[in-house]
């Protein structure tokens, strides 16, 4: 893993994760660092190649992020994308100006140098994804213009002798034709990487590293049953066995039978039972706390705070029997990136598992301030690959994404045991029918929710006044945007008939067609 490495320097671009993903798809390890990392630190990392991301700023504005121009004399290939391309031009003596015509979205690009290593086997005319107000008006000395558009004279440029390449468009997004091939040419052909990084070697090296780091100390992990915490638990179990204590707080807001399924895997008789599994059945406490609460943000905060309270109480109890040196977390790379990476990295959203427990509790229990996070460098699909390598059942590895607050935010309005049971049963039927129909639910998120709308219906000879269940299905690659899934009408009808006939308290079933944006994936 450490032999070959591509570094992505983040200048505030929204597509930084996609860049890293495209690189890793070539079986080459890649990490994202903030643009203020500094030249000396960058040299210490010994990258095989460097990619400069896009960003919202203008390179000639005083407050815009810059980098030491010495980066271009390291003898390491550099690829600048969008803002990164403009920064390369600007620092090396080219001219960057406000474009007379801004380009956004799909744009036709003409490749001027078909023999460029970056554009090997790329057609002369392609459609790319543009997003810029500024442009390179004049390339620096020593550079050759390799592509253009009708409004952008330098859509791409290169100094092949110094292995410096720049593109104004975004090859990392799926909207750019042959974009993945361009990334592959840069990583393999220009940087000379072999593409030998594999998930199997990651698991083996990680288990070995955990064993060496932890030694004979004890580790505490909050186990949710999701794929991230499940894979974290198995890695640690294989590394340290009974030194691992997993606390599973069952808040009563999980999907049907999910709490029992988690215990079946990690309990004493489970496949991965070589650890200490503690299940806390806290459903009654959560339901009491959520009485008369209908604001979704308040529900999220209450559910999160209650988890910390219960987990902290259990941690104190377990600490009395010998203490812990480390707390483990299922943090993955998007959590780290979205929580901000330096002054130029935008905070997309706060993640409860970046930073761990409240600091006073960490100090009280004597935890090392830095938690054990074996998946911190991986994306979700990579975590799943590791899970399969470790022998975790496929149904757990590919379990549908589930929000931290659970069904608390899939019940619109006040949360009660009765409403949660309705959602559990409806959701179970929905997922069962999708599976029977052979619909691929791995490409997005599919679930049932309960609206707070009640309406009149007729069942048999009786009038009803019951709830409406909302079925949701979205297709997405990154969960930043999403489109409603086109589920066959016959499948939706089957779901509707079963839910109304089998789930007490429901007399209407709706299908949510809203995309993201303007909506969100969850209802609350």
What tokens does 422 get?
């309705």
Cross-strand pairs, 455: 466
CB 130 within 8 A of CB 165: no
DSSP annotation of 185 reads: I
CA distance 82 to 219: 44
Give the active site residue among 132, 170, 185, 251.
170
Give the active site residue among 158, 172, 425, 433.
172
495 is catalytic: no
- Size of the chain in residues: 524
Backbone angles phi, psi at 177, to 5 degrees: -60, 135
The residue whose two tokens read 């104190």 is 316
Query: In degrees, to the nearest 5, what angle opens at C-alpha 437 toward C-alphas 433 and 441?
Result: 80
**All residues at 6 or more sequence positions from 431 whose CB lies less than 8 Å from its CB, including other chains:** 400, 441, 446, 447
DSSP of 30-65, one letter per residue? EEEEETTS-HHHHHHH--SEEEE---SS-TTSTTS-
Pairing relation of β-strands 95-111 and 78-81?
unpaired
Give the active site residue among 82, 152, 191, 246.
82
Which of 232, 493, 482 has its CA nearest to residue 353? 232
What tokens does 515 get?
């995309």
Pairing relation of β-strands 78-81 and 164-167?
parallel
CB half-sphere exposure, 104, CA atoms < 13 A = 2
82 is catalytic: yes
Helix boundaries (H) for 320-393: 333-338, 359-365, 380-389
What tokens does 264 get?
């079946």
DSSP of 78-136, one letter per residue? EEEETHHHHHHHHHTT-EEEEEEEEEEEEEEEEES-TT-STTTT--SEEEEEEEEEEEE
Backbone angles phi, psi at 106, to 5 degrees: -65, 130
172 is catalytic: yes
Cross-strand pairs, 464: 457
Just list the catalytic residues. 82, 170, 172
């Amino acid at each position: 893993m450490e032999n070959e490495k591509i570094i992505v320097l983040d200048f505030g671009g929204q597509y930084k994760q996609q860049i890293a993903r495209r690189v890793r798809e070539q079986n080459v390890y890649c990490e994202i660092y903030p643009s203020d990392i500094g030249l000396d630190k960058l040299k210490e990392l010994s990258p095989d190649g460097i990619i400069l991301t896009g960003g919202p700023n203008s390179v000639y504005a005083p407050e815009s992020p810059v980098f030491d121009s010495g980066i271009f004399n390291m003898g390491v290939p550099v690829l600048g994308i969008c803002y990164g391309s403009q920064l390369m031009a600007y620092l090396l003596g080219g001219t960057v100006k406000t474009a007379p015509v801004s380009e956004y979205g799909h744009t036709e690009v003409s490749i001027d140098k078909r023999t460029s290593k970056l554009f090997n086997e790329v057609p002369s005319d392609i459609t790319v994804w543009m997003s810029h107000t500024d442009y390179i008006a004049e390339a620096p000395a020593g550079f050759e213009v390799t592509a253009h558009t009708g409004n952008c004279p330098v859509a791409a440029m290169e100094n092949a002798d110094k292995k410096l390449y720049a593109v104004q468009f975004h090859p990392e997004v799926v909207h750019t034709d042959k974009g993945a091939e361009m990334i592959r040419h840069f990583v393999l052909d220009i940087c000379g990487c072999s593409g030998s990084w594999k998930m199997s070697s990651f698991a083996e090296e990680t288990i070995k590293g955990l064993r060496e780091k932890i030694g004979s100390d004890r580790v505490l992990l909050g186990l949710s049953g999701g794929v991230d915490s499940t894979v974290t638990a198995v890695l640690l179990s294989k590394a340290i066995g009974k030194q691992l204590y997993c606390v599973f707080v069952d808040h009563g807001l999980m999907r049907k039978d999910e709490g029992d399924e988690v215990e079946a895997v990690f309990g004493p008789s489970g496949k991965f039972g070589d650890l200490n599994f503690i299940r806390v059945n806290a459903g009654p406490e959560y339901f009491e706390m959520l009485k008369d609460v209908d604001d979704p943000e308040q529900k999220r905060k209450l559910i999160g705070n209650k988890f910390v309270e219960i987990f902290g109480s259990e941690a104190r109890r377990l600490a009395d029997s010998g203490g812990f040196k480390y707390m483990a977390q299922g943090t993955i790379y998007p959590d780290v990136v979205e929580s901000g990476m330096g002054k130029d990295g935008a905070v997309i959203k706060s993640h409860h598992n970046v930073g761990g427990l409240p600091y006073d509790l960490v100090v009280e229990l004597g935890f090392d301030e830095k938690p054990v996070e074996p998946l911190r460098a991986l994306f979700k699909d990579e975590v799943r690959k590791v899970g399969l390598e470790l022998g975790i059942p496929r149904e757990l590895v590919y379990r549908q994404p589930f929000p931290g607050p659970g069904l608390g935010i899939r019940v619109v309005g006040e949360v009660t045991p009765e409403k949660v049971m309705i959602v559990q049963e409806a959701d179970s039927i929905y997922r069962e029918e999708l599976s029977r129909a052979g619909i691929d639910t791995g490409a997005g998120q599919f679930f049932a929710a309960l609206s707070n709308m009640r309406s009149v219906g007729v069942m048999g000879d009786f009038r009803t006044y019951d709830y409406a269940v909302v079925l949701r299905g979205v297709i997405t690659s990154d969960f930043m945007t999403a489109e409603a899934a086109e589920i066959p009408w016959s499948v939706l009808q089957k779901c509707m008939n079963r839910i109304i006939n089998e789930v007490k308290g429901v007399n209407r079933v709706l299908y949510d067609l809203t995309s993201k944006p303007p909506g969100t994936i969850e209802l609350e």
